[in-house]
């Protein structure tokens, strides 16, 4: 978007001067409705699911349910599972609480990719 295509609009003068001719309107203090960061929520869902699968496989390897031939991969799988699970569940929790409208949670708290 170029600066030439941006249209500016003057505010109409209203009562309520600050003393030097500046006008304050209620519109400039309104916070816009936050956009839902769908890509970030999708990425968090993928991280959560991948981490859950890796933790499950690591736990099965650790308990011996899966073949002991793969026992050297137990700890790397568990660590990688926790590394992917934790950020995924954290972002999904914020998204769920913002969707439900709990106080202190907003979709603005989730980093977005700025398409």
| pLDDT digits 0-9 by tens, 18-67 | 555 566 677 777 777 878 899 999 999 999 999 999 999 999 988 888 87
Total number of domains in the chain = 1
Q: What is the pLDDT of residue 59?
A: 92
Q: What is the pLDDT of residue 32?
A: 78
Q: Cα separation of 81 and 86, whole Å?
A: 9
Q: What is the pLDDT of residue 88?
A: 96
Which is higher by pLDDT, 16 or 79? 79
pTM here? 0.69
Domain of 106 in residue numbering reads as: 36-115
80 domain-assigned: yes
Token pair for 61: 């390897």
22 domain-assigned: no
Q: Cα separation of 103 and 106, whole Å?
A: 8
């Amino acid at each position: 978007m170029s600066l030439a295509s941006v249209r500016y609009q003057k505010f109409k003068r209203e009562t309520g001067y600050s003393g030097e001719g500046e006008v304050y309107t209620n519109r400039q203090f309104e916070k816009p409705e936050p956009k839902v960061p769908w890509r970030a929520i999708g990425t968090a869902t993928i991280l959560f699911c991948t981490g859950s699968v890796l933790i499950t496989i690591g736990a099965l390897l650790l308990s011996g349910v899966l073949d002991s031939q793969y026992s050297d991969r137990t700890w790397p799988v568990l660590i990688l599972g926790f590394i992917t699970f934790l950020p995924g569940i954290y972002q999904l929790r914020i998204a769920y609480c913002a969707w439900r409208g709990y106080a202190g949670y907003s979709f603005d708290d989730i980093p977005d990719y700025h398409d």
